[in-house]
Structure 1
Amino acid sequence: MGPQMNSPPPYLTDEEMLDLAKPLVQPAAIVRWFKGQGFVCRIKPNRMPLISRQHFEHASGLAPVLKDSEGARQQNAAAGGEPDAAALLARFQRKNSNGTNQEKQPARA
């Protein structure tokens, strides 16, 4: 048998949301309160908001803060290495409506 993991659920529980939004008890009022605080939330079938724990921790400042070099290193590792600069430039080059590159005509003499 493996060790038991006591990790919290990926979403805030109804009890946690009721505790955060005290004295509000109606689901619609709780949803309005969370949206007013800047949280992204969806509506569950019981009309309570559905808020991811990771988003809540990040938006409320509870997430661990990484140094810039550590954060950049983790983002590069997650993205699979260095970005493809040539693909980025090719994607945003100016093109005509039919997809061909624009060519400037010389000025008349």
Structure 2
Amino acid sequence: MKELLAKIERQLARLEKIQSEMQRLAEQMPLQEAQSEPSPLPLTPAEMRVFREVVQGWTNKQISDHLYVSPRTVQTHLSSILNKLNLENRSQLVRFAYENGYEKPMDLS
């Protein structure tokens, strides 16, 4: 009976060492983003399409041609996006996109 108790105590001590080592390793690992995908933006579907095109680096004219809307509509959506995200210009918008995980999607065309 004493042998069994000694084995159990050794196993518990071993488990405590393993647990402390795992905790130490977890603390040393760089923090990863909690989400694999960025959180949704407070944008309409049309604004989201313009957002993605701006992140691609396209001009308002190129975006309007691609989305079949007028350049003025693109500008209206862009103004709304900047306002909703508290940004001042498209450069800040692109930076915001990259910093928050809205990276440039691969061109599939």
Normalised to the residue count of structure 2, the TM-score between the two structures is: 0.24
Whose RCO is larger (CA < 8 A, sep 6+)?
A: 2
Larger Rg computed on CA atoms: 2
Normalised to the residue count of structure 1, the TM-score between the two structures is: 0.24
